[in-house]
Amino acid sequence: MDNRILGAAALTTALILGVGARSAAPPPNGPAFPDRPPLGHTGGFGEPTCARCHAGDALNSIGGLLALEGLPSVYQTGMRYRLTVTLTRPRMLRSGFQLAIRFAGEDPPGRTAGTLRRIDDRVQLADSLGVVYAFHTGVGSVLTAPGRATWTLEWVAPNDSGKTVVAHLAANAANDDASELGDYTYADSVVSQPRPVGGA
């Protein structure tokens, strides 16, 4: 057989096998890291956000809202605070989040501040390089209402008095289409100051 025919046949076979291998592989993000997102994606202290993997519109696009409730502007050392992360966006079908609370302005900055605690099966915790992150579980990626996802956890304020803390959080409003496309990322930060010694 002509060598050119053999070469063409080999190339055709390789292309078919290559396409088959790619189509058999799981999609890069399907769907939206439902069980555990990569750590270090809160958008704080030089970290990326969920937009590193999820492509949609610009960060914090109009039509969605990410909020952290329960972290006071002034915290009391050793006090327990119930925190709620809420992401809303019409037509999102699945969602995830990641949060870390760290000391601000230290040298080096970014040390975990206080203690995060999970209170239900929608949230889990993990440590990466000394920073504790809270994030969604597989169950926690399911919406709590149409166009709405909430996650609740507890934060015990640090005993280090006189230190400002900052919470960085990022969340992803996913369309659950088993791809990295068409998702929307939101990020926010909240600062909390220590109550002055002897303050009311």
Dihedrals φ, ψ of 132, to 5°? -95, 130
Question: Cα–Cα–Cα angle for 184, 190, 195, nearest 5°?
Answer: 165
pLDDT at position 118 is: 97
Say yes or no to pLDDT of 30 above 70: no
What's the half-sphere exposure (Cβ side, CA atoms, 13 Å) at 29?
24
The tens digit of pLDDT for each residue in 56-85 reads 567 778 899 999 999 999 999 999 999 999
Give dist(CA 3, CA 109) in Å, integer. 65
Average pLDDT, the chain: 78
Confidence of residue 166 (pLDDT cuts 50, 70, 90): very high
Confidence of residue 197 (pLDDT cuts 50, 70, 90): low
Confidence of residue 23 (pLDDT cuts 50, 70, 90): very low
pLDDT at position 61 is: 83
pLDDT at position 179 is: 59
pLDDT at position 33 is: 59
Confidence of residue 32 (pLDDT cuts 50, 70, 90): very low
Q: Which domains does the chain have, with CATH numbers?
A: 29-194 (2.60.40.680)
pLDDT at position 98 is: 95
pLDDT at position 162 is: 79
Q: Is 20 helix (H, G, I), strand (E, B) or coil?
A: helix
CB-count exposure of residue 55 (10 Å: 0-12, 13-18, 19+): middle
Q: Tell me the residue ranges of DSSP E strands in the chain.
A: 65-69, 74-75, 80-88, 94-103, 115-118, 123-128, 131-136, 148-156, 165-174, 184-194
Say yes or no to pLDDT of 86 above 80: yes
Q: Is 62 helix (H, G, I), strand (E, B) or coil?
A: coil
pLDDT at position 88 is: 97
The tens digit of pLDDT for each residue in 135-159 reads 999 999 999 999 999 999 999 999 8
Give dist(CA 59, CA 200) in Å, integer. 39
